[in-house]
């Protein structure tokens, strides 16, 4: 509308200017009605020509959808002429990936499928088309995908999510199409899409046409190929909660594998891999102990830094002192990596021990708990009871209560758990109608939280002996299993 009105105004101005030009062309100096009519007529004729030219230009440019499409395609092609999709040969094996035995187990089936697709086809077995590796940066997601390709001996197509989405609408979609076509032509094969969140972010208020076009193309391709095509798509992300639901639906990335920061044993194994061919005379276990929170990538760079440091010392071998000397440098160089001092580890071990014991006592399900992660199982039932939610709130608050009792101080690590407890209380009041009054209010949320904290305190005091024993295990091994806690209960009670 606005645009049409603008056109109208431009036409009137142009028309008046042309009348003026017409008048000048007629070259009449005297003013009469006849001259004026002549001027206007001349103006009309010139204006007619002008209009004709404008219409012709419009017809051949914008109003011709075919031509517009061709132009867009040319634009896409010119942006994309340097973009090559070539398969890589991977010689990485599972032996090169240290630790994460559970992850490997989950992927062995995929390797077997890629090796013997026919075996699976004959039995009509459904295997996932897409596997989503979820975990923080540097934990080896790319390495794992390469190992799957290496073990199966199939070509590996690497693409980063950000590499798809470009400035021009259509470039990303075309890249996705080409990638799948190439992978199918080289099947069995693996497509690895790193940082898939760059394409697959949930469609929020801010629309991005190029990203949506790319995502839609990816969804189409994933729906389009059959399992028998022998292509497996592995994608990596560290923010699964940001992904568009469409990507996670059945038949797309319906298998999720969580890759976490390595625990003590895994850190030791990773360090051993990188120290394999080096003149190391030290205690690997000790180094593993002082690197809580380091990812595999950070450990690799730590070994490298320590080796450089040892070389500079000219002593001919590497030992723990070299690691201690460069540890902080690696930490500073990679700000995101977190690592804990002995005292911090102590605080965390009390905090998590209380949570683990209270959880075991109240039947809140988990397999193992580490210094930084509680690994509670998601409740995925429709029907949840009030007491079940209250138990979970008590667990979340028990860590803080224990640390406060032992250290006479509060620490910021409790913030996540407090937030979770609060969210549960809010759900109880505002969604499930589990508050005391019909009228829901924030005051009721606060009361539920206070009550839960009171109960958690009573529980903490009654189980303190068990918690202190659990703390020692957590501090020493950085991890405690539900089984170990059961054993302490059996011993104490
Ligand atoms: P991500 O894809 O999760 O960001 P990468 O696979 O790129 O992590 O890991 C970066 C590097 O860190 C790898 O190339 C490897 O050198 C090292 N690394 C990470 N995890 C491991 C592991 N479990 N075993 C051996 N090396 C690892």
Question: How much distance in Å is there from the Cα of 452 to the middle of ligand 1?
Answer: 41
**Ligand 1 center–CA 99 separation, angstroms:** 11
Q: For 385-391, what is the mean pLDDT?
A: 93
- Of 258, 281, 300, the position where a domain reaches its end is 258
- 456 band by pLDDT with thresholds 50, 70 and 90: very high
Same-domain status, 269 and 386: no
Structure token pair of residue 418: 């407090």
Compute the average pLDDT of residues 389-404: 96
Same domain for 383 and 320: no
Q: How far is the centre of ligand 1, averaged over its atoms, from the C-alpha of 395 (Å)?
A: 34
Average pLDDT (61-82) is 60
Computed over every residue of the chain, the mean pLDDT equals 83
Tell me if 137 CB under 6 Å of ligand 1.
yes
- The distance from CA 314 to its chain's CA centroid, rounded to whole angstroms, is 43
Instruction: Check whether residue 324 and residue 394 sit in a common domain.
Output: no
Is the confidence at residue 472, as pLDDT, over 50? yes
- Residue position matching structure tokens 């708990």: 369
pLDDT of residue 10: 63
The finding on whether 263 has its CB within 6 A of some atom of ligand 1 is: no
Q: Which atom number of ligand 1 is nearest to the Cα of residue 99? A: 23
CATH number of the structural domain spanning residue 206? 3.40.50.300
Maximum Cα–Cα distance across the chain: 121
The domain boundary residue, chosen from 209, 233, 258: 258
* pLDDT over 70 (residue 442): yes
Q: Is the pLDDT of residue 252 over 60?
A: yes
Domain carrying residue 445: 342-492
280 Cα–ligand 1 center, Å = 21
Residue 38, pLDDT score: 75
- Ligand 1 nearest atom to the CA of residue 140, by list position: 6
- Ligand 1 centroid – CA 326 distance (Å): 20
| Token pair for 263 | 């625990």
Give the residue whose CA is nearest to atom 15 of ligand 1.
297
Dihedral of alpha carbons 48, 50, 51, 56, sign = positive
Alpha carbons 326 and 309: distance in angstroms, whole number: 7
Q: Which residues of 355-379 are buried (b: 16+ CB within 10 A; e: fewer)?
A: bbbbbbbbebebebbbbbebebeee
User: What percent of the chain lies above the pLDDT cut of 70?
Assistant: 83
130 and 172 inside one domain: yes
Looking up tokens 């990638």 gives 179
Nearest atom of ligand 1 to the alpha carbon of 96 = 25
Average pLDDT of the residues in 70-88? 66
Q: What is the CATH number of the domain that holds 313?
A: 1.10.8.60
Is the bond into 298 cis (omega within 30 degrees of 0)? no
Q: Which of 412, 408, 289, 264 is nearest to 341 (CA)?
A: 289
Query: Once rounded to an integer, what is the mean pLDDT over residues 447-451?
Result: 94
Distances (CA, A) of 351 to 138, 322, 359, 422, 464: 27, 32, 12, 18, 12
318 and 436 belong to one structural domain: no
Q: 0.85 exceeded by the pTM?
A: no
Tell me if 87 is assigned to some domain.
Answer: no
Instruction: Please determine, for residue 166, whether its predicted confidence score (pLDDT) is greater than 50.
Output: yes
pLDDT for position 329 = 74
Most informative mutation of 95, 134, 143 for ligand 1 (most atoms within 8 A of CB): 143
User: Cβ-count burial of 440 within 10 angstroms (0-12 exposed, 13-18 middle, 19+ buried)?
Assistant: middle
Across 203-207, 215-219, 230-234, 401-405, the highest mean pLDDT is recorded for 401-405
Give the tens place of pLDDT for each residue, 294-330: 889 989 999 999 999 999 988 889 999 999 888 877 7
Which residue's C-alpha comes closest to atom 11 of ligand 1?
297
Domains in the chain, number: 4
> Within this chain, do residues 119 and 14 fall inside the same structural domain, yes or no?
no
Q: Is the pLDDT of residue 332 over 70?
A: no
How is residue 242 annotated by DSSP?
G
Per-residue pLDDT averaged across 435-455, rounded? 89
Note whether residue 72 is domain-resident: no
Residue that wins the pLDDT comparison between 129 and 429? 429
CA of 104 to the centre of ligand 1 (A): 14
Atom index in ligand 1 nearest the CA of residue 98 equals 24
What is the Å distance from ligand 1's center to 348 Cα?
Answer: 26
Per-residue pLDDT band at 370 (split at 50, 70, 90): confident
| Ligand 1 touching residue 275 (CB < 6 A) | no
The C-alpha atoms of residue 452 and residue 440 are separated, in whole angstroms, by 18
Taking phi over 0 as left and psi of -120 to 50 as alpha, with beta for the rest, 314 belongs to left
Residue 372 Cα distances to 76, 112, 316, angstroms: 47, 34, 37
Q: Is the CB of 142 under 6 A from ligand 1?
A: yes
Q: Are residues 311 and 177 in the same domain?
A: no
Cβ–Cβ under 8 Å, residues 214 and 178: no
Angle at 66 between CA 65 and CA 71, to 5 degrees: 95
- 97 CB within 6 A, ligand 1: yes
Look up residue 91 and give its two tokens. Answer: 């010689």
């Amino acid at each position: 509308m606005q645009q049409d009105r603008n056109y109208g105004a431009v036409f009137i101005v142009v028309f008046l200017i042309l009348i003026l030009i017409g008048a000048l062309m007629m070259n009449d100096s005297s003013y009469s009605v006849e001259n004026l009519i002549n001027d206007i007529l001349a103006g009309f004729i010139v204006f007619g020509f002008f209009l004709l030219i404008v219409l012709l230009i419009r017809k051949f440019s914008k109003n011709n959808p075919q031509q517009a499409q061709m132009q867009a395609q040319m634009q896409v092609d010119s942006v994309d002429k340097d973009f090559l999709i070539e398969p890589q040969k991977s010689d990485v094996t599972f032996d090169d990936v240290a630790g994460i035995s559970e992850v490997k187990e989950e992927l062995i089936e995929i390797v077997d499928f890629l090796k013997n697709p026919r075996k699976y086809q004959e039995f009509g077995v459904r295997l996932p088309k897409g596997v989503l590796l979820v975990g923080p940066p540097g934990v080896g997601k790319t390495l794992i995908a390469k190992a799957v390709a290496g073990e199966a001996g199939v070509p590996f197509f690497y693409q980063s999510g950000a590499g798809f989405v470009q400035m021009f609408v259509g470039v990303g979609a075309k890249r996705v199409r080409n990638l799948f076509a190439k992978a199918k032509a080289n099947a069995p094969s693996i497509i690895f899409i790193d940082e898939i969140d760059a394409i697959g972010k949930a469609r929020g208020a801010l629309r991005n046409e190029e990203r949506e076009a790319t995502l839609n193309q990816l969804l189409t391709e994933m729906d389009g190929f059959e399992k028998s095509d022998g292509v497996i798509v592995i994608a990596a992300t560290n923010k699964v909660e940001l992904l568009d639901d469409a990507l996670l639906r059945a038949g797309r990335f319906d298998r999720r594998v969580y890759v976490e920061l390595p625990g003590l044993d895994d850190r030791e194994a990773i360090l051993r891999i990188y120290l394999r061919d080096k003149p190391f005379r030290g205690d690997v276990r000790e180094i593993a102990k002082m690197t809580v929170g380091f990812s595999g990538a950070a450990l690799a760079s730590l070994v490298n830094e320590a080796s450089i440091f040892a070389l500079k010392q000219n002593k001919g071998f590497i030992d723990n002192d070299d690691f201690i000397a460069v540890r902080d440098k690696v930490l500073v160089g990679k700000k995101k990596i977190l690592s804990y001092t002995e005292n911090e580890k102590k605080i965390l071990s009390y905090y998590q021990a209380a949570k683990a014991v209270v959880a075991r006592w109240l039947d809140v399900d988990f397999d193992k708990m580490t210094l930084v992660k509680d690994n509670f199982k998601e409740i995925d039932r429709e029907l949840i009871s009030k007491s079940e939610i209250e138990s979970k709130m008590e667990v979340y608050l028990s860590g803080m209560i224990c640390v406060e009792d032992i250290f006479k101080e509060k620490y910021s690590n409790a913030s996540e758990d407090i937030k979770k407890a609060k969210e549960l209380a809010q759900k109880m009041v505002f969604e499930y109608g589990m508050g005391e009054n019909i009228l829901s209010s924030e005051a009721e949320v606060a009361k539920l939280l206070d009550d839960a904290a009171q109960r958690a305190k009573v529980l903490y005091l009654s189980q303190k002996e068990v918690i202190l024993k659990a703390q020692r295990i957590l501090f020493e091994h950085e991890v405690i299993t539900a089984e170990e806690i059961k054993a302490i209960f059996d011993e104490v009670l």
